[in-house]
Amino acid sequence: MTDLWELVCAGYGPHMTLTVPGRGYSAPMTAILRAAEGTAGHIEQVAAGRQPGRVGLLLDNGEPWVRGLLALWRLGATAVPLPLPAGFTGPAAYLAQVGDICADAGLDAILVDSSTVLAASLGRIGPALIDITDPMAGFAPPAGGARLRGSAVIQYTSGSTSRPKGVVLTQDNVMAGIEMLWRATGSRQGDSLGLWLPLYHDMGLFSLLSALVHGMSLSLWRPREFIRRPMEWLRQFAAAGCTTTTAPNFFYDILAEAAREGVPDDIDLSAWRIAVNGAEPVRPRTLAAFTEAFAGCGLRPGLLRPAYGLAEATLLVCMVPPGDEPRSLRLERSHTSAGARVRLAASDDDGARTVASCGRLVPPMRLRIRDGDGQDCPDGVVGEVQIAGPSVTAGYLGVEAPAQPFTCDGWLRTGDLAFMWEGEVYLVGRIKDMIVIRGVNYYPEDVEEVVRAVPEARGLCAAFAWVDEEDERIVVLWETQLGAEAAATTNVAIRGRIREHLGLDAVDVVAVPPRTIQVTSSGKVKRAQTREAWRGRPTGNDRDGSVSG
């Protein structure tokens, strides 16, 4: 059986380093591994000699997070990454989420450090908090080697469409997944990973694990360091010699937007070889805007690598191969719903929908697209993505077999809608998010894309269905700090653009204060939760109005 601790130990040499630029920290990974032994001994001592079974990781990006994960593997414990408060509407919602995960996973303890917020409140949740801020090299390592008794990781889904569920991943699942990521990206010895994504998010976690097992040097930033100063982050990324990063589509949007204020002359991106774009819908306009913004900084052809994956697959399902340019199709919007055969749009079709390819299937993953009757969809017909392979989870923690997302023949049902075209996978939406207005299907991602094209509304927005005693409508919330008059003017512009591009009149557009819309750790909108919060809002908000902060 795979032993991830031993694989990490075997993969590292003295030249491999972990750097945390925002903290001025850098150390060889050999030192991190020795410190992880001491941390494992400390955890064992706190547990009074009893090997913990499942332990949460509740820390910001940094050396303690990496060391804590390695210490758990050294102990043979299951690591359960826990979210940080960013993206929640307040402390109560955050503590409720963490409490639910702790109860569902049956955690024995939670690893924390000086970055952990709400520590006093977390103490009321139940599991013991173990502070691993310091390396604790003075503690004796546990006796014997790692002896994993259960799963390697329980990765809780980000909950964009439902309550988070624990994806149970064995060491063999994890190893298969990170090997697929390594091969698909064309990574090689000497590459260096630069990562700002939170390590509790599946893309951040499995990117980290691939680097750990394959002996890559690491540079870690906290998410807010990128969000607050994206161009400075890019400068540090380039200066650190990073060759690889993985991130959602909005990362590239933010950088392209920041470039509007000017790109420093001293940023050299020629060492950057791999830029994976996944975890949320890939936007062709984002790829074009990013490439144009940084064309003068030495960007390599084929740098951007659209991909599709999910936590249940230990991340990766398909990706644009090395050296290939990302492709996209311009389609008639009315022929992209489940069961439809897609049609290429005419050049003068202003309401067309452009869909990016997520590349080709990464072996040994298997993928099929099936219709509502369980039959295989021919190329060009939209259906549900179903997957199978050695990296795919055996199921969610504590969920009875009838409720697990598997077909009768053992394939995982993803709930994602896609079609195949010339051997490549094109994602068009999710089954549960689809909005039906007067018999016509709309994807919220399409509505939100149209909204963000309005200059004043380039920030966070959410579209969802709304049914009341009058009719079926779409509600669009967009976050802004504009005053009431400017927001009302923008509401009119948004409605006009939606009417022009989607042919929709049954739309309520509402400007809301920042932090109203709920998001996952990767920035995906939690539409169901946002809709429920909107349902419980105080009365008195008129259609196409603005809510004051």
In a domain, 259, yes or no: no
Q: Are residues 423 and 473 in the same domain?
A: no
> Which of 92, 107, 139 is the endpoint of a domain?
139
192 occurs within a structural domain: no
Same domain, yes or no: 109 and 134: yes
Domain-embedded: residue 254: no
In a domain, 271, yes or no: no
Q: Are residues 28 and 134 in the same domain?
A: yes
3-state DSSP assignment of residue 461: strand
pLDDT digits (tens, 9 = 90+) for 210-249: 999 998 999 999 999 999 999 999 999 999 999 999 999 8
Q: Is residue 288 a part of any domain in this protein?
A: no
- Per the DSSP assignment, residues forming a β-bridge with 129 are 110
Residues 6+ apart with CB under 8 A from 482: 456, 490, 511
CATH of residue 492's domain is 3.30.300.30
CA distance 549 to 63: 38
Residue for token pair 């959602």: 248
Report residue 432: phi and psi, to 5°.
-75, -20
Helix count (H) and strand count (E) of the chain?
14, 26
CB-based burial label for 382 (10 Å; 0-12, 13-18, 19+): buried
Q: How many domains does the chain have?
A: 3
Dist CA 16 CA 127 (whole Å)? 34
User: Strand, helix or coil at 174?
Assistant: helix
Shared domain for 524 and 455, answered yes or no, is: yes
As given in the structure block, the two tokens for residue 438 are 């007067």
Q: The pTM is what?
A: 0.82
Q: Are residues 411 and 465 in the same domain?
A: no
Range of the domain at 389: 327-395+407-430
Angstrom distance (rounded) from CA 363 to CA 55: 32
**């697929």: which residue's tokens?**
180
Domain closes at, from 117, 139, 161: 139
The CB density around residue 489, as the number of other CB atoms within 10 Å, is: 12
Mean pLDDT across the chain: 86
CA 425 to each of CA 84, 379, 383, 392, 413: distance values in angstroms, whole numbers, following the listed order = 33, 10, 11, 18, 16
Domain assignment of residue 93, yes or no:
yes
DSSP assignments along 109-138, one per residue: EEEE-TT--SHHHHTTTSSEEEE-SS--TT
Residue 151 class from Cβ within 10 Å (0-12 exposed, 13-18 middle, 19+ buried)?
Answer: buried
Contact yes or no for 290/277 (Cβ under 8 A): no
**Looking at residue 101, what DSSP letter applies?**
H
The pair of three-digit structure tokens given for residue 163, joined into one six-digit string: 């309550």
Q: φ, ψ for residue 190 (rounded to 5)?
A: 100, -15
d(CA 289, CA 253): 8
Using alpha carbons, select from 544, 523, 352 the residue that is nearest to residue 466.
Answer: 544
CA distance 67 to 107: 19
Q: Which CATH number covers residue 118?
A: 3.40.50.980
**Contact predicate 372/294, CB 8 Å:** no
Helix 63-75 and helix 4-11, axial crossing angle in degrees, nearest 10: 130
What is the residue type of 51?
Q
Same domain, 442 and 424: no
Q: What span, in angstroms and rounded, lies between the C-alpha atoms of 165 and 395?
A: 10
| Whether 493 and 425 share a structural domain | no
In which residue are the tokens 């976690």 written?
205
Phi, psi of 529 (to 5 degrees): -70, -40
Kindly state whether residues 135 and 71 are assigned to the same domain: yes
Which one of 139, 172, 194 terminates a domain?
139
Which pair of structure tokens corresponds to residue 437?
Answer: 């207005």
Confirm whether 4 is domain-assigned. Answer: no
Number of residues written out for the chain: 549
Q: Is residue 444 located within the same domain as residue 366? A: no
344: domain CATH number is: 2.30.38.10
281, 324 in Cβ contact below 8 A?
A: no
How far apart CA 452 and CA 286 sit, in angstroms, is 12
Amino acid at 66: V
Report if residue 164 sits inside a domain.
no
User: Which H, E and C letters describe 145-163, residue by residue?
Assistant: CCCCCCCCEEEECCCCCCC
Distance of alpha carbon 180 from alpha carbon 186, whole angstroms = 10
Q: Do 419 and 492 fall within a single domain?
A: no
With a cut of 50, which residues of the chain have pLDDT below it?
160-161, 469, 539-542, 547-549
3-class secondary structure, 218: strand
Give the per-residue pLDDT at 541: 46
Pairwise CA distance, residues 314 & 305, whole Å: 18
Closest CA relative to residue 425, chosen from 387, 375, 395, 372:
387
User: Which letter does DSSP use for residue 164 in this model?
Assistant: -
Give one DSSP letter per residue of 316-366, joined into a string.
EEEEPPTTPPP-EEEE-GGG-STTPBP-BPPTT-TT-EEEEB--EE-TT-E
